C-alpha cells in the first residue's frame, strides 16, 4: 500500500535523524521542569546563596496539583509548540526546495497520501512525546503536590494532544504554501500568536477557539467533570486540523512541483 510506504519512510527518516530520541526527551524535560523547580524552589534558593539581604519571604505559596499541571501545559504551549514547529517546518518545503519531491511526485503518488503520511508520522511522534511528558509530569505532581487522578492524566493528554495536532496541521499547511522552511516556521508561530490575541480580545464570542483548550482542561480537572466547552473546543480544533490537511492536499496538487 502506497500510504504505508510513505509513512514507513517518514518513520525511518525521523528515526535516522534522531527525532525519535530528542523530541520525547525535550518534551519530557519541558513537562517536568515546572513541577520540580516549583517544589524544590526553597532548596534552590538556599543552595544558590539565599535571597538578597532585605528581601523577606514569609512563606512560599503552596500550589494545588491542577495549578502545577497548568504550569506544565503553559511550558508546552510556549517551548513545546516551538519545538513541534521546528521539527516539522521542512517536511514538505524542504523536499520541494531540494528537489526530492520531484522524484517522488513524478511517480503515481496521491497527493493526499503524501500529505497524510507525513501528518500522521509527525502526530505519532508528537503524541508519543506528549504521552511520556504528561506521564512523567503527572507522576511528579502526584508525589510532590498531591493527587491527580488517572482520569485527569488521560483528559489532559487527550485534549492537549488535540491542540498539538492542530499545531502540526498548521505547520503542514504552511509547508505546502512556502518553499522556505523559515517562512513556514514564521507563519505557523505568527498564526498561533494572532489566534491567541484574537481569542483573548474576543473571549466572550470565541468560546470554542482552539487556544482555550488549556484553560478548559484545567477547569475540568478542578471541577472533576469534563465540561461541554472542552468537548466542543476539542471537536472544533479537530475539525480545523482536518480542514487544514484537506486544504494542504488541494494546494499542493495545484502547485507546480518544479520551480
Partner 1 sequence: MTLVTVKNLTKKYGSKIVVNNISFDFGYQKCIALIGPNGAGKTTTLRTLAGLLKPTEGTIQFESSTTNQDIRKWIGYLPQYPAFHSWMTGREFLIYSGKLAKLTKEEATKRAAELLEVVNIAKESQDERISRYSGGMKQRLGIAQAIIHKPKLLILDEPVASLDPIGRREVLGLLEKLKQEITILFSTHILNDAEEVSDELLLLHKGQIIESGSLQELRNKYQTTVMALQVEDEIHDYQTIVANLNHVRNTKIERGTLYITSDNVKKVREAILSLADQERWPITSFSIDQASLEDMFMKVVNN
> Does residue 22 interact with partner 1 by CB under 8 A?
no
> Does residue 172 interact with partner 1 by CB under 8 A?
no
Nearest Cα to Cα of residue 223 among 131, 151, 166, 173: 151
59-70 burial, b for 16+ CB within 10 Å, e for fewer?
eeeebebbbbbb
Contact in structure between 105 and 176 (CB atoms under 8 Å): no
Contact in structure between 171 and 184 (CB atoms under 8 Å): yes
- Distance (Å, whole) CA 155 – CA 135: 12
- For cell 508546552, name the residue: 76
CB nearer to partner 1: pick between 97 and 198: 97
Nearest Cα to Cα of residue 115 among 13, 257, 258, 244: 244
> Does residue 258 interact with partner 1 by CB under 8 A?
yes
C-alpha distances out from residue 45 to 34, 60, 63, Å: 15, 11, 18
> Does residue 21 interact with partner 1 by CB under 8 A?
no
CB nearer to partner 1: pick between 13 and 46: 13
CB nearer to partner 1: pick between 17 and 223: 17
Q: Which stretch binds partner 1 (CB under 8 A): 2-10, 58-66, 189-197, 224-232?
A: 2-10
Q: How far is the CB of 11 from partner 1 (least distance, A)?
A: 13
CB nearer to partner 1: pick between 17 and 149: 17
CB nearer to partner 1: pick between 98 and 223: 98
Q: How far is the CB of 119 from partner 1 (least distance, A)?
A: 18
Q: How far is the CB of 105 from partner 1 (least distance, A)?
A: 7
Count of residues that bind partner 1 according to CB under 8 A: 21
> Does residue 16 interact with partner 1 by CB under 8 A?
yes
Q: How far is the CB of 93 from partner 1 (least distance, A)?
A: 14
- Distance (Å, whole) CA 163 – CA 211: 8
Number of H helices, E strands in the chain: 12, 0
- Distance (Å, whole) CA 120 – CA 168: 9
Binding residues among 83-102 for partner 1 as defined by CB under 8 A = 98-100, 102
Q: Which of 6, 84, 141, 170 binds partner 1 (CB under 8 A)?
A: 6
Q: Which stretch binds partner 1 (CB under 8 A): 84-92, 107-115, 167-175, 177-185?
A: 107-115
- Distance (Å, whole) CA 160 – CA 127: 9
Residues that bind partner 1 (CB under 8 A): 2, 5-6, 9, 13, 16-17, 98-100, 102-109, 256-258
Amino acid at each position: 500500500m502506497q500510504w504505508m510506504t510513505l509513512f514507513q519512510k517518514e518513520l525511518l527518516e525521523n528515526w535516522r535523524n534522531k527525532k525519535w530520541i530528542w523530541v520525547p526527551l525535550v518534551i519530557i524535560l519541558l513537562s517536568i521542569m515546572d513541577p520540580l523547580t516549583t517544589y524544590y524552589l526553597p532548596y534552590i534558593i538556599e543552595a544558590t546563596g539565599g535571597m538578597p539581604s532585605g528581601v523577606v519571604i514569609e512563606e512560599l505559596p503552596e500550589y494545588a496539583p491542577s495549578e502545577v499541571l497548568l504550569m506544565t501545559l503553559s511550558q508546552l504551549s510556549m517551548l513545546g509548540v516551538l519545538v513541534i514547529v521546528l521539527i516539522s517546518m521542512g517536511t514538505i518545503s524542504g523536499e520541494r526546495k531540494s528537489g526530492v519531491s520531484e522524484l517522488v511526485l513524478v511517480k503515481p503518488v496521491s497527493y493526499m497520501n503524501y500529505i497524510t503520511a507525513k501528518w500522521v508520522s509527525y502526530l505519532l511522534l508528537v503524541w508519543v512525546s506528549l504521552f511520556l511528558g504528561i506521564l512523567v509530569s503527572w507522576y511528579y505532581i502526584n508525589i510532590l503536590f498531591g493527587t491527580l487522578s488517572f482520569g485527569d492524566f488521560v483528559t489532559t493528554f487527550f485534549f492537549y494532544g488535540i491542540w498539538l495536532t492542530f499545531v502540526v496541521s498548521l505547520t503542514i499547511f504552511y509547508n505546502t504554501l512556502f518553499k522556505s522552511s523559515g517562512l513556514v516556521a514564521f507563519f505557523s508561530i505568527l498564526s498561533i500568536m494572532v489566534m491567541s490575541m484574537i481569542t483573548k480580545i474576543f473571549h466572550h464570542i470565541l468560546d470554542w477557539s482552539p487556544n482555550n483548550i488549556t484553560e478548559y482542561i484545567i477547569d475540568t480537572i478542578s471541577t472533576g467533570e469534563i465540561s461541554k466547552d472542552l468537548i466542543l473546543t476539542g471537536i472544533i480544533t479537530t475539525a480545523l486540523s482536518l480542514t487544514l490537511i484537506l486544504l494542504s492536499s488541494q494546494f499542493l496538487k495545484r502547485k507546480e512541483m518544479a520551480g
